Structure 1
Amino acid sequence: MNKLKYLSFLFAALVSVGCMFTSCDDDDNFPIENQIAGEYKGTLDVSMSGQSMAMDMPQNITVDKASSNAINLTLANFNIAGMSVGDVTLTGLVLNEQNSGTYSFSGTQSLTLADPVGTVPVEYFGVITNGKITIDLGITWNDMDIAVAYQGDKLNGTESGEAAITAFSFSGENTFITSQPVINADNSITFSVADTTTTEHLQALQPVVEVSAGATYTASGTDFSQDVTYTVVSENGRNIATYTVRIASRINSLKYTFDEWTTDLFSLTRVEYPTPAESGIATSNGGAGFFNSGTSKLGFPVVEDENGYSGSAAKLITLDSRSQMSGIAAITSGSLFTGQFVFDLLGALNNPLTLTKFGIVYTQKPLYFKGVYKYTPGTNYIDGSGDETVDGLDIEDQCSIQAVLYEISSEDETLTGVDINTSDKRVAIAALADGSAKADWTEFNIAFEYLEGKSYDPSKKYKMAIVCSSSKDGDKFKGAANSTLWIDNLEVTGEVVSAK
């Protein structure tokens, strides 16, 4: 399927979630005003062809009386994975009484949805009983099935609308914490640690969280060696706030052995994926998690190899992903980098390269980038950069290993896959010149070269981006399936330079 056509369908189908209810005629009179009408607080799940698109997404539904036996439903500020589609109002839904206090609606109808979907068949089933509502929908388009499930509880009108973290701390005596957590105005929660703090110290921290009365919260994880996001939902479900807990102190020592690995969670699909345990390192596994929730698994492009140069190593693999999600990406190259992989559906639809946030704060003048690697190119070179994917090309794949120092004006600023190789914010680069096959472990020690007109200024702020890929043109969806890059003992050495 053409990528643009597929992505257009994905958006149109998700927008249409709120428009899939209908009604039938019935002359019964039901206690709608007293028992059914009101606001319901609940969660929404959406999947497509067995692959989860959203899970446990907070959503309120308002029910009001349309007639003696029918209701209207309104979904206010409806959104899927961060994409707002506005208010959706559904009218004239006729109820059937199953038993005392239980009412249902079900059937099949044809709906005309936004282009390019057009007219599609929809099956629906809903139940309202004892202050609870459940809704299940099914829509089929171009042999693809979309399933929507909602469940919620009726509010009594007295619930609070406050959604805030009111206090945040860590339990126990954590002597390595030099500055206790502070809740900032921008909803970041920051704390500082000693230079000798280990990953194990940060992973063992036990948070103590207090939120607004009646509110609930969820966390993206418990490993505070990396950013942890907290989502707070008000008691009435109308307000949602997000907070990010992070270490405020800057990372000066960049050395990665890849001897320790853990698992992280791709929150949208609830898929766990392997990741190095060392702070500041991310991989393309975050994106691959999007393609590993259905019955057909893509696999992960970055895994641990216990037979590394010394201890374990990172193994980066270029995957043939043409069979996944109707060919949205011809290949998925193994990528490992300093920084973060931040998934949002709208960014993935517009330009997936924006999801890789390269670099961590660096306060030294870099001198050398060193490490050890070996590389085996795959045999089937695939070019998926155009509308038509071509494979079997007579091209030998190459790997890419580089470190980039770039200037920032604030710590939130970052380069991405879009501009890491072109931005005028780049100051110095240390890049592997030869990305060809290496059967044996090969050491490299590359001096940083400053770009024309650029120099290190200790009064300015910088980030260091280490970026490694099993296919050097993987960001253009070009590379050989099964190209494999092993990397170990990466290190950036630098010197402290004082501002004059």
Structure 2
Amino acid sequence: TYEFKESEVEVPDTGGGMINLVVDVTPIGEVETEETIYRRPSVKAEMGGQNLVLTQPAYMKIGDGEDMTVMIKGSTKLTQIEIASEQFPDFLGAPTAQQAFDLKNLTTEEEDLLANGGITIDKKEASLGHAMDINLSASLIRKYTAENGTRSIRFSVTDQRGYQRIVDWQIVASDIAVQTVAIPDDKKYLIWATKATLFGEVLPEREPQSELSFRYRKVGTTEWQTVPAVRNGSVLTAEVTGLKNSDNELFSEYEYQVMEGAMASNVKCQFTTEKTLQLENCGFEEWSGSKPMYIAASSSDFFWDSGNHGSSSVSAFATDLTTADSSVKVEGKYSAKLQSKKIVIKFAAGNLFIGKYLDTQKMNGILGWGRSFTSRPVALTGYIRYTSGTVDNGGKYIENGEQDKGQVFIALGDWEGQTYGGETWPLIVDTRDAATFFDPKGDNVIAYGEQTWDSSTEGENMHPFVIRLNYSLERIPTSIVVVASASKYGDYFEGSTGSSMWLDNLKLVYDESELEE
């Protein structure tokens, strides 16, 4: 329905009128349908009156075993139920090397062979082919646990709709009182590039009789290294350090086992170290363009950006704040030179940052900070030369006549992301709004480190620096932010037009021993 609405139009010069539209949401009719939801067949089991999780290994003492029942059900008729094991030829006394049997299509000879070997089936006739129980005798289970080691039985079930479930049940036979445990998903933050925490557990109703430890090695090597285990109730842990990546690889795979004296758990677990990623163009060798000059080989593909876009936006006074400098460097062709300047009437700090300069609004920059990053270095190192000018654009944060300050900071976080102009970045900094400025104590800051230079560095050479990262949260980051400024308070348009900073050879360090060296 609709009706004319008496209302004043805000722009009367345009003319027109207002119409009020009302939609009747009463349903015209209702239709009911019934749908049948089908699921994959289920495979459950119990032993000695206790439920078994077949997707997890069963840890049993050597020689132990009780009657076991495997219960199989399907939403529709089951067309194939296969049981298979490498040990069947030996344990069932089969005349041939038959390792698999289709329980829905057994010959009389196969059914007798299985029954004599300790496997009987209940076809559950009342289920009309939707279910079956498989009974494994205690004597058969004890054959699987007769010797130390890991053996398995596979159950593969298919129904008439083609839905399938395959379960590989592992039986681990050992008199050892402990077992190796994979690093839990909610503890993945304990795996770093050069260190990791290993996990194990004391088995129920068992008590270790010897010293507990872990052994570990890089996958594909033969020599084990050993560390003592720390016990907390039934949980065993050990931190291993000094992990090294393989040659020409960013990460490595390791395997480990928990030990009781000289006995090793039959279970072996693996983990992959974090990648030792480095920042792109970290030596600042790639540059292109002018006014604005890009810290990259092309203006369409870059990792770093700067305030050059803003300082070049005023055509009559266009200039680049951050440029390549071949006269001051550690190696290669260039370093990055950051100069603080005054653009028309506004002070601008020489700067660079990981991310992208997004927009200029009335000579104020809007910046997208950060890039995707999931590794955790312990420090950022590099080389710097800094010239501290006398502040001539003072204010609330630094007064005229003081020495300007230069700053470099690094942060890792799991920011949800912010969007501007259709692009999403870990952080959006609007220099018109101090509320958008970076907060090193923010809820999503996982690690942070900074260094401030209160005066000029000595001489004309570059000097090494180390910025250690302080990790405050036990989480894996999703992004990295690095920002350098020749004037620390440039966000507030305060500093000195005489300040300059040169940076070269930035490097992310993952190994503490490298810092000691």
TM-score where L is the length of structure 2:
0.39
TM-score where L is the length of structure 1:
0.40
